[in-house]
């Protein structure tokens, strides 16, 4: 059976994905970038991205880009927005769909392509990004803050074991503001979704700070009963 071109005569555009890959490094959120290897804007600071293939949907394309450039699979990702201004890419008419991804820096360091040329930069450097990538990052951070307040997605940025100090620093980095230590600990421990281990971090704390883990199974059981995560 011959295929029918229902949309004959309509314009064709390139579809791309750009990934705002975030990690928690040195007690702050950082962005994974690389220097663009082709024109236009060769050498410019860029997000990691690529074009969607004929045999994949947009979510699959984003997952492929993250895997190819970090070596990681099953990464937490969420779609941010679509960007389609006519002159956003001087090389061609390209519509890009942005995603943000949260990765554990330890997993990235241990991946087989952690030295692929990508570099972590401070968020203050987003003014250097090419095209409309700065807007993508800004929009991603806004969405991250909204989601992190309602869902425990921040744990994707932490190692499996973490201290309460690390956890508070993470949320302070996400929100860009200091949090009251006593109130934060009372709220997060009161949720009942963290388990304290017998081990202590004696490197970053003189007295030693207990390690905790996030109990995903318990969290999902509590969700079924109407539990609401809120920080």
C-alpha closest to that of 65 among 82, 80, 47, 83: 47
- Distance (Å, whole) CA 12 – CA 1: 24
Fold classification of 14-148 is Nucleoside Triphosphate Pyrophosphohydrolase (3.90.79)
Give the β-pairing of 14-25 and 94-103.
parallel
Residue 131 near residue 41 (C-beta atoms within 8 A): yes
Residue 66 pLDDT level (bands cut at 50, 70, 90): very high
Residue 117: the pLDDT is 80
pTM of the model: 0.92
Q: How far apart are CA 26 and CA 200, in angstroms?
A: 19
Residue 2's pLDDT band, with cuts at 50, 70 and 90, is low
Q: Could you tell me if 28 and 122 are in contact, meaning their C-beta atoms sit under 8 angstroms apart?
A: yes
Task: Specify the pLDDT at position 113.
Answer: 64
**Domain range summary for the chain, segments of one domain joined by +:** 14-148, 158-224
- In tens, the pLDDT along 85-131 reads 999 999 999 999 999 999 999 898 888 665 568 899 999 999 999 99
Could you report the per-residue pLDDT of 144-159, keeping only the tens digit for each?
999 999 999 999 999 9
- What is d(CA 2, CA 57) in angstroms, rounded to the nearest whole number? 24
CATH topology of domain 158-224: Arc Repressor Mutant, subunit A (1.10.10)
Q: Given pLDDT bands bounded at 50, 70 and 90, which one contains residue 202?
A: confident
């Amino acid at each position: 059976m011959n295929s029918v071109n229902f949309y004959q005569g309509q314009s064709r555009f390139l579809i791309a994905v750009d990934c705002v890959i975030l990690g928690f490094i040195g007690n702050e959120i950082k962005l994974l970038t690389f220097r663009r290897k082709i024109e236009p804007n060769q050498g410019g600071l860029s997000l990691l991205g690529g074009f969607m293939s004929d045999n994949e949907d947009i979510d699959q394309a984003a997952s492929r880009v993250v895997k190819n450039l970090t070596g990681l699979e099953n990464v937490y990702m969420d779609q941010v927005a679509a960007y389609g201004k006519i002159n956003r890419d001087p090389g061609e008419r390209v519509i890009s769909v942005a995603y943000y991804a949260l990765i554990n820096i330890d997993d990235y360091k241990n991946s087989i392509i952690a030295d692929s040329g990508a570099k972590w930069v401070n968020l203050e450097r987003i003014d250097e990004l090419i095209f409309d990538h700065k807007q993508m990052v800004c929009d991603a951070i806004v969405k991250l803050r909204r989601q992190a307040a309602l869902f425990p997605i921040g744990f994707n940025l932490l190692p499996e074991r973490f201290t309460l100090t690390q956890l508070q620093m993470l949320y302070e980095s996400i929100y860009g503001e200091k949090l009251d230590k006593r109130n934060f600990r009372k709220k997060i421990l009161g949720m009942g979704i963290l388990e304290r281990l017998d081990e202590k971090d004696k490197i970053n704390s003189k007295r030693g700070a207990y390690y905790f883990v996030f109990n995903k199974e318990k969290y999902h059981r509590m969700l079924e009963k109407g539990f609401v995560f809120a920080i």
